[in-house]
Structure 1
Amino acid sequence: MSATHPGTDPTNGADDELGYLSATEALRLFTSRALSPVELMRAIVERTEKTEPHVNAFTERLFDEALAQARHAEDRYLGKNGLEPRPLEGIPVAAKEKHAILGRSLTEGSLAHEGNVATENHPVVDRILDAGGIIHARTTTPEFSIATYTQSRMWGVTRNPWNPDFTPGGSSGGSGASLAAGTSLLASASDIGGSTRIPAAFTGTVGFKAPYGRNPGLGVLTADHYRGDGPMGRTVDDVIAFQNVLAGPDPRDHTSIGPKLTLPTAYEDVAGLRVALCLRLGEYDVHPEVEANTRAAAQALADAGVHVEEITLPWTHLDLLTAIAGHFSTIFGAIVEETAEHHRDLLSSYTVAFADLMKYARTQASYLDALRAEHRLQRQLATAMTGFDALVCPTTAIPGWHAEDDLAGDKVVVHGEETVDTLWCAMTNPFNVNNRCPVLNVPSGMSGWGVPTGLQIVGHPYDDPTVFRLGKALEAVRPWSYDAVRSRFS
C-alpha cells in the first residue's frame, strides 16, 4: 500500500500507520480489497487508547457501534446483498459534539446543559451517515464553541498532539487534535469566527470555511451569516471528498443553497493565476515566524507559476471591532446571555466573561453599526481582490498559545513573554464578516514553539473551486508530514 504523505507507510499494518492514512487512500485500499474497514477501525481504536490520555480530543467513544458499521461497510466492498459502497464508505469520522446525533447527549460542553439529549440528527451527521461514513467518536469544544482554545469545566483541557503544552485551538479543537493524533481520518467542524481554520492551523491540518449557505446547519443560528459547518481532514483531497458530501440544500435550513455545488477532484495547473499576498490584513501584528512561513508558502506558489503580488488592505481594527461587537452581541452573544441569566454558577469563567462583554458591547455598537462596518470591510476586500483570482494571508497572528490559557489578559503570554493583544491573535474573523468568501486553511510550516502555522486561501464570493485548486497545488510543492507527531505516542 502507498501513502498520501511522505514518511507514512502502512505496509506493515501498524495501528499508528493506519491512523494516518488519508481518507481517499483508504477508500482506494478498500476498493482494491487491500484493506478492510474493520482492520482500519480496529487500528483507530487502538491508536485512541494510546493518545487520548494525553490529548483529550473525544467527549464520547462509539467504538462498538463503529465496529459493527465497519463490518457492514466491508460487506458492501465485497458486493454482498447487492449493495455498493457509498462516497465515504467505511471511513472513520469524528463529529463535533455540537453536531447533534439523535438520542445522544447535546451539551456543547456546558454543565448548564448536562442531561440534554438530541431529538434529531444535525444535517452534517445525516450526510456523513448517508455517505457511509462511520462516526466513531465525538469531539471536544470550548463551552458553546465560543473560544479559540478548547477547554471546559465539563470536558477538561484538550491538548495539541504536536506539543501538548499548547492548545489545538478552538472551537473545533477536538476535531483538529484527533486528526493530528491519528484517531480519525475526517472530522466535522463549524466556523463562526475561525473555529475551523484556527484548529486546522495549529494542528497542521486542512479546514474549509464554506461560503454562507453552502452547507446546511440546524437551529436558529442558521440565520447568522457569519456561521457555517464544514469539513476538516489531513489532505486537500480528503476535504474535497468530505465537502462534496456536506454541500447542498436541506429543508431544515432555509439559507442552504441549491443546486448543490460538487467540487472537481482534478484541477488545471495553477500557472498563470494571480494571487494577492496580504500579511497584516490592515493592522494585525504578525509574529516573525508566521510571516516567514506565509512568505515561503507564497513563494512556493510563485515557483509553480502563480503571479503573486503583495498588497495591503485599508481595514482598521475599529471597523473590525464594530462589526464583530455589533454582530455577536446581537445574535450569538444574546443566546449565551440567556443561559448565563439562569445558570451563571455552572458556566466556565470565560463563558461568563463573554456573556458580560456581549451585554456591554450591545450598548456600544448596534446591529446597524455592525452592518455599516461590514459593508466597508466587504467593499474594501472586493476592491483589493479585483484583478486577482484569490488572496493568501496568515490564519493566526502568532503560532499558538498554552493549552490552559483562557486569554483573559490583555496580551497572549507564551513561555513567559507577552506577544500580541488577545483579541487580535487570530486573523480569521474578517472572513466571517466577508461571509460569502470561501476560505481554505492549509499548513504553511512549523514554528519554533513546536506547533504548525497555517495559511488562509481566500476566494471570491462562492468561488470554492479556486481555493481548492491553489490548495492542491501548494500541497504538491510543499508536502506535509505527520511523522513527528505520529511518533510522539507510538
Structure 2
Amino acid sequence: MTAGSLHELGAVEALRAFRSGELSPVELFDASVARIAAVDAADSEGEGAINAVVQVLEGARGAAEEAERRYAAGVDEPLGRGGTALLGLPVATKEKHGLAGEPLSQGLVALRDERAEADHPVIERIRAAGGIVHARTSSPEFSCATVTHSRLWGVTRNPWNRALSPGGSSGGAGAALAAGYAPLATASDIAGSTRIPAAFNGVVGYKAPYGRVPGLPPLSADWYRGDGPMARTVADTALLAGVMSGMHPADHGTVPGEGSLPIEYPDAAGWLAGKRIALSVRLGDYPVHSDVQAAIRRTAAVLAGAGAIVEEVELPWASGRIRDITMAHFGKILGPAMAELTAGMTELSDYTERFISDAHAAGERMSLVESLAGEARMQAELAAAMDGFDVLLAPVNAVDGLVADASYLDGITVPSPDQAGGEVRLDHYWQAHMTVPFNVNNRCPVLSVPVGIAGNGLPIGMQIVGHPYAESSVFHAGAALESLQPWPLLAPLG
C-alpha cells in the first residue's frame, strides 16, 4: 500500500496491517490528517467545501506513536477485542460526544467557548480500546435537523454532490467517512440521525437497540435516542459497535447484549439460505422516490437470488400520524430541554427555533399518555408485520437528497410515487425520511447499508431491521448483501 492510498483502508484491514508490521499507526494517523487538510476545505470547482471537520486534534499523534510501540512489543489479544480492539485506529467523533477539556458547543454560537468536563462514555470506551480521536465532525445545532449547517460552522456538503446535503444530524460523520478522513466515526440517532447521513453518503450506520450504547443523563433516558457507530463496511461498523456497547454506570438505561458481534463473516452470503426477509418499500404511505424504490427492489431480488425468501408486507402506517406522535414525544423531552438551554440566545438557526416551536405545539395537542398509546400501536403493528421473518428491509430516505443549505421550514415537495409527473407536499420535511418509526420501535436494531446511486449522484441507503435486541441478524444480513453487491467505499474525489 502507498501513502497516497492509506485513507482508503478500512478499520479491520488496518488492524491486520498493524499486527503484521506492514503499516504503522503513525503512518495512518498522518495520512488521515493530511487527507483532511487536502480535501475538507478544498473547493477547486467552486461547488463549496465539504466542511465536515470542525476540529483536528493533531496533538493526538502521540497516541499513534504509543500504539506503534505497543505493536512492536507484540499484541496477543484477539483481533478487535479488549484493550487493543481499536489500537492505533483514527476515529472521527461527532462534536456532541465531548472530549474532556475540548470545545463542546453542539453547533451553537453562544456555546462556542464551552468545554467538556469529562469524556463522553463512547469516547471513554474508544480511548480504552486504543482508538485515537483525531478529528471532530459537524452537526446541525443541537443535532435537531436532517441537514447539516449552522451559524457556527457553516454548511457541510455531501462529497458525492456538493450542492446537496450529507444529511443530518450526523452529517459531518457521514461526509468524513465518504471523503476518507477516518475509517471509523461516531454518530447519534434520535429520529434517524445516524441512518440518514449514512445513506446519503454511501456508508454503513448502526442504530443499536435502546440501552446498548451508553449516553449522558438526563437525555439518555429518552427512549428514542441512542449513540452509535458509522463506518464504510459492515465489519468495521460491527467492530466499533462492539467497543461502544455495554452497561455503563453513568447511564442507568444501559443493558447487556446477546454477545460479541462478529467482525469476520466467512461465507457471508451462505447465511441467507432459507432466511425469511420481509420487504416494505413504502412503510405505509411514505411517498418514496422512484430511484429509491428501484434500488430497494433490485436489492431484494439479489437477496432472493441468493436463497432468501423475500415477501412484501403491509404496514398500516401514515407518515402524518407518525409525525404527530413523534413530535408530541419531542414536545415532552427534547423540545423543552432545547428551550431551556437556548433561552436568551439570539443567534439560533431558523430550524432550531422552528423545532422548538413545533415540538411545543405538538406536545400541547397530544398528551404523553396519548403519544405512548400511539407508540404502542406502532410497535404492535411492526411486530405483526415481522412475525415469521428474520429481518425487515425498507428504505432509509423517501427522497433522493436534500439541498445543502436549505432549512425546509415550510415542508418539502417530493415527486408522487403514484402519479407520473405529479408531486406530493409534505407538511414537515422529517416525513421525507423513513427512520423515526424505528426510534419508536427502539429496541429493534437497524443497520443502514448502501444499495445504489440515485440520478443526482447521491447514494441510496436501505434499513435492515431486526427483532428486539437481535443485533447479529442485521449484521449478518448486511454482510451477506455486501458480499453479493459490493458498494463503493469512497466518494469519487480522486
TM-score, structure 2 as length reference: 0.92
Give the Cα separation in 2 of the matches to 1:265 and 1:473: 13
The aligned residue for residue 355 of structure 1 is: 356
Q: Is 1:70 aligned to residue 64 of structure 2?
A: yes
**Does 1:464 pair with 2:471?**
yes
Partner of 2:18: 30
Residue by residue, what CA displacement relative to the aligned partner does 1:427-476 show, whole Å, maximum 9, x if unpaired? 00000001100000000100010110100000000000000010000000
C-alpha distance in structure 1 between counterparts of 2:398 and 2:227, whole Å: 23
Instruction: Write the mapping of 1:46-445 to structure 2, written as runs, cut at 5 A.
Output: 46-53=34-41, 54-63=49-58, 65-79=59-73, 86-258=84-256, 261-266=259-264, 269-343=271-345, 345-412=346-413, 421=426, 422-445=429-452
- 8 Å CA contact 2:109–2:347 kept in 1: the answer is yes
Partner of 1:3: none
Code of the aligned partner of 1:91: L
> CA separation in 1, counterparts of 2:35 and 2:130?
22
Q: Could you tell me how far apart the structure 1 residues matched to 2:70 and 2:64 are?
A: 10
Contact 2:284–2:316 (8 Å) recurs in 1: yes
What's the CA shift for 1:178? 0.3
CA RMSD, Structure 1 to Structure 2 (Å) = 1.9
In 2, the alpha carbon distance for the partners of 1:304 and 1:66 equals 45
How far residue 49 of structure 1 moved from its aligned partner, in angstroms, is 1.2
Indicate conservation of the 8 Å contact 1:248/1:260, yes or no: no
Residue in structure 2 matching 1:478, options 467, 485, 493: 485
Aligned pairs for 1:13-24 (under 5 A) are 13-15=2-4, 17-24=5-12
Letter in 1 for 2:153: W
CA distance in 1 between counterparts of 2:279 and 2:361 reads 36
- Going from structure 1 to structure 2, the CA distance change for 1:407 and 1:214 (only over 3 Å counts) comes to same
Q: Is the 8 A contact 1:150 1:157 kept in 2?
A: yes
Deviation at 1:316, TM superposition (A): 2.3
Note if contact 1:247-1:262 (Cα within 8 Å) is conserved in structure 2: no
The alpha carbon displacement at 1:259 in A equals 5.8
Percent identical residues: 48
**Counterpart contact for 2:258–2:470, Cα < 8 Å:** no
Conservation of the 8 A alpha-carbon contact between 1:325 and 1:365: no
- 85 and 34 in structure 1: CA distance in 2 versus 1, 3 angstrom threshold: farther
CA 81–355 in structure 1, closer or farther in 2 if over 3 Å, else same: closer
Q: Residues 337, 94 of structure 1: CA spacing in aligned structure 2 closer, same or farther, 3 A cutoff?
A: same
Gap change, CA 1:40 and 1:418, over 3 Å in 2: farther
Q: Is the 8 A contact 1:398 1:420 kept in 2?
A: no
Contact 1:397 1:427 survives alignment (8 Å):
yes
The question of whether the paired residues in 2 share the 8 Å contact of 1:73 and 1:85 is answered with no
1:407 CA displacement: 1.4
**Partners in 2 of 1:383 and 1:55 — Cα distance?**
43
Which digits, 9 at most, give the CA deviation of each residue in 1:393-415, with x for residues without a partner?
A: 0000011111011112222479x
For residues 333-358 of structure 1, what are the alpha-carbon distances to aligned partners after superposition, in whole Å with 9 as ceiling and x for unaligned? 11111134321x12111111111112
Tell me by how many angstroms 1:418 deviates.
6.5
1:99 counterpart SS class: coil
Does the Cα contact within 8 Å between 1:328 and 1:358 map onto a contact in 2? Answer: yes
Q: Deviation digits for residues 239-298 of structure 1, max 9, x if unmatched?
A: 111111011100000000136731123456221100000011111000000000001111
Cα distance in structure 1, aligned partners of 2:74 and 2:33: 26
- Counterpart contact for 2:451–2:487, Cα < 8 Å: no
Gaps of 5+ in 1: 1-10
**Structure 2: gaps of 5 or more residues:** 42-48, 416-421
Pick closer, same or farther for the CA change 1:404–1:418 going to 2, 3 Å. farther
Q: Separation in 2 of the partners of 1:81 and 1:32?
A: 10
Between 259-268 and 309-318, the greater mean CA deviation after superposition: 259-268
- Alignment partners' CA distance in 1, 2:359 and 2:273: 46
Find the aligned partners of 1:258 and 1:302 in 2 and give their Cα distance.
33
What CA distance in whole angstroms lies between the structure 2 residues aligned with 1:471 and 1:29? 24
Is 1:233–1:239's contact at 8 Å kept on the other side of the alignment? yes
Q: Who is 1:5 aligned against?
A: none
Q: SS at the partner of 1:19? A: helix
Task: Tell me, in whole angstroms, the C-alpha distance in 2 between the residues paired with 1:220 and 1:260.
Answer: 26
Q: State the one-letter code of the partner of 1:304.
A: A
Which TM-score applies when normalising by structure 1? 0.93
Check conservation: 2:173, 2:187, Cα contact below 8 A: yes
Equivalenced residue count is: 471
3-state secondary structure, aligned to 1:443:
strand
Which position in structure 1 is the counterpart of 2:46?
none
Amino acid aligned to 2:466: G
**Is contact 2:257-2:469 (8 Å) kept?**
no
